[in-house]
Structure 1
Amino acid sequence: MTAVTQTTTAQSMWSPEELAEVRAALEQEIAELNRDIMRHEAEIASGDVIRGAGDDQADAGAKTYEREREIALTLNARDLVAQNERAIARIDAGTYGVCESCHKPIGKERLQAFPRATLCVKCKQKEERR
């Protein structure tokens, strides 16, 4: 089966209405994640040095831990936004539901559970074994 035929097969698994629902859910998640990013960045920015003046080592350590946690949450949210944007781009390009490795259709159940998936289960398992 050619890549074009496989792409057509993967697309035919999804109705236009279903793709619109997936797109809407991805866009909603992007908006929520962007709000989270803004909140985390505000919390990072508010942890200024002046408030830490006179803190003992435990307080300073706790503040450092919180700052690092906020940074990690922000980076994770940004990564999820990028994944969602790539999924929307695949919907627009007509390649949503096609494995980026083997070019075979990704199971519909997998995409319903994880709409950002770019690999079929078999290729994802191979990737994780490496």
Structure 2
Amino acid sequence: PLLALLDRVGLVEAPPDVLHKVADRLDAAAQRCGPAIATYGNPAKTLAAELAGSLPLVWTEGEAAGPVGRRFAAVLAELAGRPALVAELPEALPAHGGLLAGAFAAAADPDDFFRDRVDEPEA
């Protein structure tokens, strides 16, 4: 509906055939990420499992990506109750660099970064 409205006021071009294609893609994503789909085949549940017990750092680059990153962090907080920190590049590294090293860094062993941690207790 928002794309149709923006088309009518002349801000974007969204002919009906394009709107139908967008709706079809959104339907496909909703089916792939639905609650009845098992975690191993569901990107949304996989992401939720990977974010559990962590503080996500959402870094964006570009004019359009900034609002998307902020919205993603807001949705994580509002719907999932998970905080996230957002910054735009190139300011992201100085802003969040302290979280990537030292006392706040993840407790992963740098020599065994790619090991499977599924069965290990949280650090």
TM-score normalised to structure 2 length? 0.29
RCO (CA 8 Å, sep 6+): is it higher in 1 or 2? Answer: 1
- Structure number with the higher strand fraction is 2
- Structure number with the higher helix fraction is 1
TM-score normalised to structure 1 length? 0.27
